[in-house]
Amino acid sequence: MLSYRHAFHAGNHADVLKHLVLVLTLDYYLRKDKPFWYIDTHAGGGLYQLSSAEAQKTREFAQGIQTLWKASDIPEALEPYRQQIRALNPGTKLNYYPGSPWLAANLLRNTDQLRLFELHPSDFTALNQNLGSDKRVHVSKQDGLKGLLGLLPPITRRAVTLIDPSYELKTDYNDVISTLSKAHQRFATGTYLLWYPVIERQRVKQMATALQQTGIPGILQLEYCPLADSTGMGMTGSGLFIINPPWLLAGQMQTLLPWLNQQMAHGNGHFTVAYITPEKNT
């Protein structure tokens, strides 16, 4: 437990998908004047140096954010995400990659708040160093799944929550569904982004079935896999289950995923944009 370090994987294809969706979601929330909370259950260190020994050991960013760094003719909906990467790297070289807390902190307003959870001692220290001085930010060294439930419902009655554990423990797959169901019972109108790795297809199907059994309406599944499904090859892709997604998001991703697939896998990957539960009747 707690052996996972995101520094080895920063900027890979899974980060691109997760952070692109996060930026689009936060951008949608920012269109209203009313403040909101950003809650991150597994925040990580917040910021990653791509020249570090960890990042260079795997160089996963080379098939992820590096492919987008100098791409031309990018879709309009991808530009806000790439602008955030460029803000971190004002020169011509890609040196740093932001974690989800850094992205949120740079997008949110003075009236918004960030609630960040991280248990790993080294990442907790880094997170505090990177964002702890920001008065909008509260960092907790606590189990983020338990911490999330203690925050709901937020006083703002508006919140975006990212849940993205490492899934080091097999129990994580069940724990995230249980937590998400309880969170929705406490705060049904919030937007929840549940990230998952594609390692064994059967586990993804089990997660989808479990979410369908919660009865939560309008759950959107977004998935991108640069590699074909395969057992024993590690993570071949990743996805998100989204509760209360922005109404524009499905359409945006239907445009963006084919383009991303071309950039990161030369068109050889596969992707999904689908609602796994019926949308609520209005």
Burial (0-12, 13-18, 19+ Cβ within 10 Å), 118: buried
R_g over Cα of the chain? 17
**Residue 71 lies inside a defined structural domain of this protein:** yes
Specify which residues 192 forms β-bridges with.
161, 243
Domain that holds residue 171: 6-275
Is 164 within any annotated ligand binding site?
Answer: yes
Catalytic residues: 164
Is 266 within any annotated ligand binding site?
Answer: no
CATH of the domain at 230: 3.40.50.150
**Residue 257 lies inside a defined structural domain of this protein:** yes
Residue 169: the pLDDT is 85
pLDDT by residue for the chain (282 residues), tens only, comes to: 444 567 778 899 999 999 999 999 999 999 999 999 999 999 999 999 988 888 888 888 888 899 999 888 899 999 999 999 999 999 889 999 999 999 999 999 999 999 999 999 999 999 999 998 999 999 999 999 999 999 999 999 999 999 999 898 889 999 999 999 999 999 999 999 999 999 999 999 999 999 999 999 999 999 999 999 998 778 999 999 999 999 999 999 999 999 999 999 999 999 999 999 998 765
Q: In which residue are the tokens 């990580």 written?
A: 44
Is 79 within any annotated ligand binding site?
Answer: no
Q: In which residue are the tokens 């049904």 written?
A: 188
Q: In which residue are the tokens 């920001």 written?
A: 134
**Residue 38 lies inside a defined structural domain of this protein:** yes
Residue 51: the pLDDT is 83
- Reported pTM: 0.95
Residue 2: the pLDDT is 46
**Residue 175 lies inside a defined structural domain of this protein:** yes
Is 118 within any annotated ligand binding site?
Answer: yes
Residue 188: the pLDDT is 98
Length of the chain counted residue by residue: 282
**Residue 269 lies inside a defined structural domain of this protein:** yes
Residue 9: the pLDDT is 83
CA pair distance 129, 124, nearest whole angstrom: 9
Residue 91: the pLDDT is 86
**Residue 1 lies inside a defined structural domain of this protein:** no
Q: In which residue are the tokens 């998100």 written?
A: 240
**Number of separate domains in the chain:** 1
**Residue 280 lies inside a defined structural domain of this protein:** no
